[in-house]
Amino acid sequence: MGTSEGGPFRRSRGSRSEFIPHTPEDIEAMLRAIGLRSVEDLFSDIPREILERYEPLGLEPVSELEAKRLLAGIAEENLDPRKYVSFLGAGVYDHDIPSVVSYFMTRSEFFTSYTPYQAEASQGTLTWMFEYQTMVCELTGMDVANASMYDGGSALAEAMLMAHNVTGRRKFLVAEGVHPHYRQVIQTYAWAADLELVDVPYDDRGQLDKSFVGQRADEETGGLLVQTPNFFGVIEDLRGLKDALGKALLCVSAHPIALGILKPPGALGADIVVGEGQVLGNAPYYGGPLLGLFACRKEHMRRMPGRISGRTTDARGRVGYIMTLQAREQHIRRAKATSNICTNQALCAFAATLYLGLLGRRGIRELAELIAQRAHYLARRIEEELGWPRKWPGPFFNEFAVETPVPPKELLPKLRERGFLGGVDLEPFGHPDTLLMAVTEKRTRQDLDGFVEALKEVARSR
C-alpha cells in the first residue's frame, strides 16, 4: 500500500504486484506532490490507539498457481457436511434450501445487481426488498424493517448503537446468554463509542436473571440486549422486561424460524428486534456470508441503520418503489450518519425473501413445529437411554446442551468416525463436559435414532 520504512502501511521497497499499478517511485512522487513524507502521514488522522492494535498479516506474494494449490490444500482440511449427519449449530444451522431459491439467486439480474440508487432502473430489486421488509416485520411484530445488515452479531451491536442514539444514555445491560461472538462485536462497538456494558447473569434454568435487570436498570441505562433462544438454546422469557427498563430500549435478537411458533418480540415490548437470517434459505458455507435482520418501532425508524425500500405512486397513480430515508447512511451524511453500515447483504436477503415466500405463514409455522418436535425427541431419548441430563432445563426450540460423562473433545472425533458431526463443545466457552446439539428438519427419525446408538457405543467404548 505504501513505501514508508515502518508502520502498518509499509510495503517492502522493490516489491511488485501485477494488480497494484503504482511503483514505489510513483507513490513517493504523489506523496511529494501533496507535501507528505510517508503513507503514515497520509493516515495520521487515525487514532494512535487503533494503529497500535494492528498486527501485520505477514503475507508474501505468490504466483496464481501457488495460490490455487495453497487454497485447495486449506479446503481439503475441511469436512464435507453432506457426508455426515450434522448436529452442529451455535449460530449457523444446516437447513434444507429449496432448489428454486438457488435458481433465482443465480439469475444475472439478481446475482450481479448493485445498490438501487436509480429507482427507475431498479424496480425489481426494490420490489423484493420491500417484500423482504414486510415479511421481517410480520415475523418480529415490529413496524418497520431495513434491508438489511451484515449478520446477527453486527445487527445486535447496531441495535445497541441505535438505542444509544435514541436515549442519549451510555450504559447497556447485556445478557450473558447472548452468543459469545455477538458479545465480542458488541464489546468492539462499545469500546469505540465509549459505552459501558454490564453483564446480566443467567439462572440455573439458563434464562437471564430478571431480578438483576430490575436492580441495575436506572436512568443511565440505554437498553438491554438479549437473545432468544439464547446461545445455550434456551428460550428467554421476555415478559416484564420492558416494564423493568422504563425508558431504556429492549433490544432482542430472535431466531426467525422459532418466531413461527413463538410470540413475536414486538408483542412482548421489544423496541428493536434483530436476528441471524442464515436459516432463511442461506447455506452454512464458512460461517458466512450471513444476513442480519433488523426491525424497530415506527417512532425510532429515523435512527435505524441501513436502507429502506419504500412504496409510492407516480404522477399517473402507478405503484412504484424507491429508496427512502437514505440520509441516515454514511454515503450520504458521512461522519454525521446514524451508522457506518451503508451497504447490506442483498443477495442473502433475496434468498430469505424467496424462502419465506415459498413457505408462507402456514409453512413457517409447520417447519418450526417439526424442528421443535424432533429436537425434543432427541433430548428425551438421550436423557432416558443414556442418562445425560440437559445442562439448562429451560424451554428450548431447536438446540439444547447436555452434560456428558465423556469430555466432548474425546466424544466428537469418535462420533465423526461413525458418520456424525455431534455438536459443539462448550468447554472453550466456559462449560466443560457440555455438548451443544442442534436439530433441523433435515434430521430424520432414523438419523436421530442412529445418533443415540452412536452415543451409546462411544460411551461404552471408553
Reported confidence tier of residue 277, pLDDT bands at 50, 70, 90 = very high
Q: Which of 298, 329, 355 is the last residue of a domain?
A: 355
Instruction: Examine the pLDDT at 9 and tell me if it is beyond 70.
Output: no
- pLDDT score, position 14: 46
Q: What is the CATH number of the domain that holds 165?
A: 3.40.640.10
- pLDDT score, position 47: 87
Q: Are 45 and 39 in contact (CB under 8 A)?
A: no
What are the counts of helices (DSSP H) followed by strands (DSSP E) for the chain?
A: 15, 14
pLDDT averaged over the chain? 91
- pLDDT score, position 5: 45
Instruction: Examine the pLDDT at 19 and tell me if it is beyond 80.
Output: no
The phi and psi torsions of 197 (rounded to 5 degrees) equal: -110, 135
pLDDT, mean of residues 424-433: 97
Q: Is residue 244 included in any domain, yes or no?
A: yes
Q: Which of 314, 333, 355 is the last residue of a domain?
A: 355
Over the stretch 75-117, which tens digit does the pLDDT of each residue have? 899 888 789 999 999 999 999 999 999 999 999 888 888 878 8
Q: Is residue 65 included in any domain, yes or no?
A: yes
pLDDT, mean of residues 289-310: 93
DSSP-derived pairing of the beta strands 399-403 and 434-438: antiparallel
Q: Are 327 and 69 in contact (CB under 8 A)?
A: no
Which residues make Cβ contacts (< 8 Å) with residue 362, sequence separation at least 6? none
Residues 110 and 257 in one domain: yes
Q: For cell 513524507, name the residue.
A: 37
- SS3 (DSSP) at 259: helix
Residues 178 and 237 in one domain: yes
Residues 433 and 305 in one domain: no
Q: Is residue 76 included in any domain, yes or no?
A: no
Share of the chain above pLDDT 90, in %: 76
| CA nearest to 236, candidates 204, 207, 276 | 207
Residues 201 and 134 in one domain: yes
Residues 160 and 215: their CA atoms lie apart, in Å, by 20
Residues 296 and 336 in one domain: yes
- SS3 (DSSP) at 120: helix
- pLDDT score, position 4: 44
Q: Is residue 382 included in any domain, yes or no?
A: yes
What is residue 382's DSSP assignment? I
Residues 40 and 134 in one domain: no
- pLDDT score, position 8: 53
Our count of domains for the chain comes to 3
What is residue 385's DSSP assignment? I
Q: Is residue 369 included in any domain, yes or no?
A: yes
Over the stretch 55-80, which tens digit does the pLDDT of each residue have? 878 888 899 999 999 999 998 998 88
pLDDT, mean of residues 295-310: 93
Residues 351 and 367 in one domain: no
Find the domain containing 419 and state its range: 81-94+361-461
Least trusted range by pLDDT, from 15-24, 112-121, 149-158: 15-24
Q: What is the CATH number of the domain that holds 405?
A: 3.90.1150.10
**pLDDT higher at 224 or 343:** 224
- pLDDT score, position 275: 98
pLDDT, mean of residues 220-224: 98
Residues 312 and 390 in one domain: no
pLDDT, mean of residues 215-230: 97
Q: Specify burial of residue 433 (Cβ count, 10 A radius: 0-12, 13-18, 19+).
A: middle
- pLDDT score, position 2: 41
Residues 327 and 391 in one domain: no
Instruction: Examine the pLDDT at 462 and tell me if it is beyond 80.
Output: no
- pLDDT score, position 118: 84
Which amino acid would we find at residue 5?
Answer: E
- pLDDT score, position 370: 98
- pLDDT score, position 58: 83
Q: Are 259 and 136 in contact (CB under 8 A)?
A: no
- pLDDT score, position 342: 66
Written as nine digits, the cell of 349 is 436477503
Q: Which of 317, 338, 355 is the last residue of a domain?
A: 355
Residues 54 and 129 in one domain: no
Instruction: Examine the pLDDT at 431 and tell me if it is beyond 70.
Output: yes
Residues 125 and 232 in one domain: yes
Over the stretch 169-196, which tens digit does the pLDDT of each residue have? 999 999 999 999 999 999 999 999 999 9
Q: Is 240 left (phi over 0), alpha (psi -120 to 50) or beta?
A: left
Residues 322 and 387 in one domain: no
